[in-house]
Amino acid sequence: MELLMSILIGLMFAAAVYLILSKSLLRIIIGTAILSHGVNLFVLTMGGIKRGNVPILGLKATSLYNDPLPQALILTAIVISFGVTAFFLVLAYRAYQELDSESISKTRGHEADDE
């Protein structure tokens, strides 16, 4: 199971890197979203995928529970990346309004050439 997940996560990372290296800003943001999905699945996989019960104490487990810690970590990471992605999308929208383009090449140049 871990092997299958690893291959899947590898594919997601590859897709994310490909999208982040593209020209359009929206593709880049989709790339970062896929990257964060890959990262979250990675943490889940690295915690170990075992056939235990869901980590709720009320359910009397016949044998063992699954590791609750990676699930808590992922929950935190999801919320953070949600916040960052929302900010990034609005930033892209503002940049589209100001720079009249959603191509990343429009963000070139840092000297005071546009003040």
Partner 1 sequence: MMNNIVLTPILIPFLFAIFLMLLPKKIILQRIVALTGSLILIVAAGFLVFYVRTNGITTVNVSNWKAPFGITIVGDMFASLLVLTTSIILSCVIVYSFYSIGKAREKFLYYPAVLFMIVGVNGSFLTGDIFNLFVFFEVMLMASYVLLVIGGTKIQLKATIKYLLINVVGSGFFVVAIGMLYSMIGTLNMADISQKIDALHGQNTGMLSVVAVLFLFVFGLKAGLFPLYFWLPGSYFAPPIPVLALFGGLLTKVGVYAIIRTFSLFFTKETTFVMPLLGILALITIVLGVIGAISYYDLKTIVIYNILIAIGVILFSISIMSRESVMGAVYYLIHDMLIKAVLFLIVGIIMAITGTSSVKKFSGLMTEKPGLGWTFFIAILALAGIPPLSGFFGKLLIVESAFSAHEIVGGILILISSLFVLMSLIKVFTRGFWGEKSGTFTLTIPYRKMMLPVVILLSLSVLYGLFSNAVFPFIEDAVNPIIDPTVYIDAVIKE
**Where on the chain is the footprint of partner 1 (CB under 8 A)?**
20, 25, 28, 32, 35-36, 38-40, 42-43, 46-48, 69-70, 73, 76-77, 80-81, 83-84, 87-88, 91-92, 94-95, 98-99, 104, 106-112, 114-115
Q: What distance in Å separates the CA atoms of residue 1 and residue 98, rounded to the nearest whole number?
A: 48
**What burial class does residue 79 get, using C-beta atoms within 10 Å of its C-beta: 0-12 exposed, 13-18 middle, 19+ buried?**
exposed
**E strand or H helix at 32:** helix 25-46
Which of residues 20 and 62 has its CB atom nearest to partner 1 in the complex? 20
Which of residues 47 and 53 has its CB atom nearest to partner 1 in the complex? 47
Q: How far is the CB of 21 from partner 1 (least distance, A)?
A: 11
Q: What distance in Å separates the CA atoms of residue 45 and residue 1, rounded to the nearest whole number?
A: 9
